[in-house]
């Protein structure tokens, strides 16, 4: 349920991953949502994360279960490794919390379908964190995609790359670990290539 008193969405962050820092700051600056807490496996790590970002009036939760059970949280942003998604999405949904989840959503189609089904049953929203669909540049491109009179795509070629450096491999980034993100680069950056290819062909994914 969304807070009726403030009429804004109260958001918690599950995990202190690097990607969560940027999004937590964005949430804290929004007038539509309120960042109310962050959960980590240890209280010390959660407190250090909040201090590093210079955030104030943010609750720190020790353990993810504490955030799941918090009564003052309407939605949760989940930047955990993909292998953890199914477990925590189901727990959050069953506590009536809306979910913004990092991509890839799951490690298999069956996992994603189960998440969607449980969220539907519980009446909550699940949304994947694919930012570019909400960017003005993509909305301008979409006008061309949707012009079926003049737009007839025959082939889509897309690429996404970045320089990870030695630290990316040597220090065990989660995208290089089968126990964390078994889909590797395909699930991480390939997600964008697949989604733009679908959009060019007027296929837009809507979980709920």
Pairing of strands 59-62, 75-78: unpaired
Instruction: Report the half-sphere exposure of 29 (CA within 13 A, side-chain side).
Output: 8
Local structure of 114: helix, strand or coil: helix
148 flagged as catalytic: no
The β-bridge partners of 12 are 37, 76
Of 183, 10, 171, 167, the closest CA to residue 85 belongs to 183
The number of C-alpha atoms within 13 Å of 177 and in the hemisphere containing its C-beta is 11
Environment class of 35 (CB within 10 Å of its CB; exposed 0-12, middle 13-18, buried 19+): buried
The residue annotated as part of the active site, out of 21, 91, 97, 103, is 103
Give catalytic residues, as residue numbers: 103
């Amino acid at each position: 349920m969304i807070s009726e008193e403030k009429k804004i969405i109260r958001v918690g962050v599950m995990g202190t991953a690097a990607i969560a820092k940027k999004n937590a700051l964005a949430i804290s600056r929004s007038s539509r949502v309120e960042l109310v807490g962050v959960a980590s496996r240890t209280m010390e790590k959660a407190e250090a994360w909040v201090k590093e970002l210079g955030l104030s009036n943010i609750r720190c939760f020790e353990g993810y279960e504490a955030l799941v059970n918090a009564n003052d949280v309407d939605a949760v942003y989940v930047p955990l490794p993909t292998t953890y998604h199914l477990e925590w999405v189901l727990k959050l949904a069953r506590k009536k919390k809306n979910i913004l989840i990092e991509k890839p959503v799951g490690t298999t189609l069956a996992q994603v379908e189960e998440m969607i089904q449980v969220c539907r049953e519980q009446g909550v929203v699940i949304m994947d964190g694919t930012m570019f669909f909400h960017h003005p540049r993509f909305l301008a491109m979409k006008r061309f995609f949707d012009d079926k009179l003049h737009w007839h795509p025959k082939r889509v070629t897309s690429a996404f790359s970045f320089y990870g450096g030695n630290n990316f491999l040597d220090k065990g980034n989660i995208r290089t670990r089968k126990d964390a993100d078994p889909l590797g680069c395909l699930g991480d950056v390939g997600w964008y290539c697949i989604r733009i290819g679908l959009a060019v062909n007027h296929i837009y994914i809507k979980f709920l």
